[in-house]
Structure 1
Amino acid sequence: MRFLAIGDSFTEGVGDELPDGTIRGWADLVAAGLAAASDEPVEYANLAVRGRLLEPIINDQLEAALAMSPLPTLISLNGGGNDMLRRGMEVSHLMRLTEHAVTRCADSGVQLLLISGPDPSTRLPFGRTIHQRGAELTVAVAELAGKHGLPFANSFDDVEIRRPEYWSADRLHLNAAGHRRVAGIVLTALGHAAGDHRLDPAPASSRRLLAEARYYREHVVPWLQRRLRGRSSGDGRSAKYPAWTPVPAA
């Protein structure tokens, strides 16, 4: 099997940083799970780059994936999270891009796995709007997957992962536990037995004024400054696994 992942920071693995500073993430864990399930090495590539909108994910990353030799046997696609944070986002536009990806993969003989990212909206500014957009997109992607008989991993509707214990300090990216839970959801969607990674409930925490002020200063304000300058967190970054990398069977 040759598994290739495309997307943004969610698929890159941001939030699941290892002690040596490298980034892991759910896609790396899925590659390891596929290798363990097949008892043979899996070739793995990850072209995801943080900050990417869905259009460059489809136009750049997907085309690069379909130009690889040998071709992937499985491509995972998630995107739209960064689009949902911008004004004027239209789900219909995102779905046209996703439908194009479905067609390109079908024409190339490559299996496509569609993934909905988890819902981060509970503790985000303008969270209600983000939730509504994400819910609409998830329904549309689920219908598209059903229409074409594609596997669909739905982490957006997973209530467990909405708990703060699965998220990084920026409240936008999963932490290691969150990525591990998503890996289980994805492997299950692919027909492999996967454990239901679940954290014990933590004591309820209050959103105190100083903590909220620190959150806005350290995470929200820098994000707004990048938007005003037309910059992205992924500017100048390249894919972490642009070529086939062997993942040994466990």
Structure 2
Amino acid sequence: MNTAEQPRTDGFRRYVALGDSQTEGLGDGDDVGGLRGWADRLAEHLAAVNPSLQYANLAVRGRVAGQVLAEQLGPALDLRPDLASVVAGVNDLLRPRFDADRTVRELEEMFAALTAAGAHVVTLTVPDIGRIAPVARPVRHRVFALNARIRVAAARHGVTVADTAVHAVATDPRLWSADRLHASPLGHERIAAAAAYALRLPGSDDTWARPLPPQELPGRGQAAAAELRWAAGFLGPWLLRRLYGRSSGDGRTAKRPRLMPLDAGPGSPEETGLRTGV
């Protein structure tokens, strides 16, 4: 945790989440029944401290850091949050021409603007994706470079870092969904708990960092079959989108673009009114 500036523990009132698919909640629910995700779960922690919490989630899947900066920072500032989460960069490091310095400059611009506007900012580090998806091992050095720069940029602006990357449990397969890019429900739960602990919210603790019980490892044949299924089901479609210049977020907008009480989710009168202009 970055301790340059201690956040308040008397309750945040207005929380706005910026980011990509992880913050949108992919892997925790679905587009039919609704996505939950770590930011929604963190909002639940916050609401336990301050039941009057208002929460907005501007994250959209597929966005690189520059797109989060261009599309979400302005609307976030308009909402005048006293807490904001900024999490992006994974989509950048998976691109062929990744530039860690540029990516973190874009993140730092958001850190600076939000803290200057009076918000406390929290961010995350990226787990070693080479341990989660073996095919990603060639880009492990990018993860380490990105995390090191995030920590430095956060320190400059008093941003709280939930440094999940330094804990071995962060790469436990049970914390990741079948696509190996998005956290599972348990993973989102642990990320939210890590952020709550980094923010020193009442009732939070470090149990999120503890390892899961041991499990039996698959045999060599089972592991190979799983790799083939993953490549056909997830890697292939991802590569095709990259080849044709498409994104999983094309045509999508934020799931929660306005500050609302936590229980005002999809289908609620408040949300219906926002989408219909009522």
Cα separation, 2, equivalents of 1:18 and 1:87:
29
Query: TM-score when scaled to structure 1?
Result: 0.91
Partner residue of 1:47? 58
Q: Which deviates more from structure 2 when the two are superposed, residues 207-216 or residues 178-187?
A: 207-216
- Identity across the alignment (%): 38
1:4 aligns with 2:19: no
1:78-93 equivalences under 5 Å are: 78-93=87-102
8 Å Cα contact 1:78-1:117 kept in structure 2: no
Q: TM-score, normalised by structure 2?
A: 0.83
- Residue by residue, what CA displacement relative to the aligned partner does 1:196-247 show, whole Å, maximum 9, x if unpaired? 2453222112353332221111100000000011000111111111111202
Structure 1 pair 123/33, CA: closer, same or farther in 2 (3 Å)? closer
Match of 1:211 in 2: 226
Partner SS, residue 211 of structure 1 = helix
Q: What amino acid maps onto 2:16 in structure 1?
A: L
> Does 2:243 align with 1:201?
no
How far apart are 1:151 and its partner, in Å? Answer: 1.1
Give 2:266's aligned residue.
none
Query: Please, what is the CA RMSD of the aligned residues?
Result: 1.8
Q: Distance in 2 between matches of 1:218 and 1:18?
A: 17
**More displaced 10-residue stretch of structure 1: 93-102 or 167-176:** 93-102
Larger relative contact order (CA 8 Å, sep ≥ 6) = 1
Amino acid at match of 1:215: W
- Residue 27 of structure 2 aligns with which residue? 15
CA contact (8 A) 2:55 2:259 kept: yes
Mind listing any 5+ residue stretches in structure 2 that lack a counterpart?
1-12, 264-278
Would you say 1:222 and 2:233 are equivalent positions?
Answer: no
**What do the CA deviations read for 1:136-188 (whole angstroms, capped 9, x no partner)?**
11111112222322211112222112011111111111100000010111001
Asked whether the equivalents of residues 15 and 174 of structure 1 are also in contact (C-alpha less than 8 Å), the reply is yes
> Retained in 2: the 8 A contact 1:51–1:82?
yes
Any idea what the Cα deviations from partners look like across 1:13-37, whole Å, max 9, x if unmatched? 1001169621101100100101112
SS at 1:99 equivalent: helix
**Which residue number in structure 1 is paired with residue 118 of structure 2?**
109
CA distance in 1, matches of 2:223, 2:123: 38
* Cα offset, 1:127, TM superposition: 2.3
Give the Cα separation in 1 of the matches to 2:233 and 2:243: 16
Equivalent-residue separation in structure 2 for 1:13 and 1:30 (angstroms): 12
Distance 1:13 1:67 in 2: 23
- Give the Cα separation in 2 of the matches to 1:22 and 1:119: 28
Number of residue pairs the alignment of both structures matches? 245
Deviations 1:58-110 (A, max 9, x none): 11111111123xx1111100100001111110111012112211221133222
**Paired position in structure 1 for 2:78:** 67
- Distance in 2 (alpha carbons) for counterparts of 1:116 and 1:123: 15
Higher mean alpha-carbon deviation, 14-23 vs 186-195, is at: 14-23
Moved more, 1-10 or 113-122: 113-122
Following superposition, the deviation at residue 125 of structure 1 comes to 4.8
SS of the residue corresponding to residue 131 of structure 2 reads: helix
Residue 233 of structure 1: aligned partner? 248
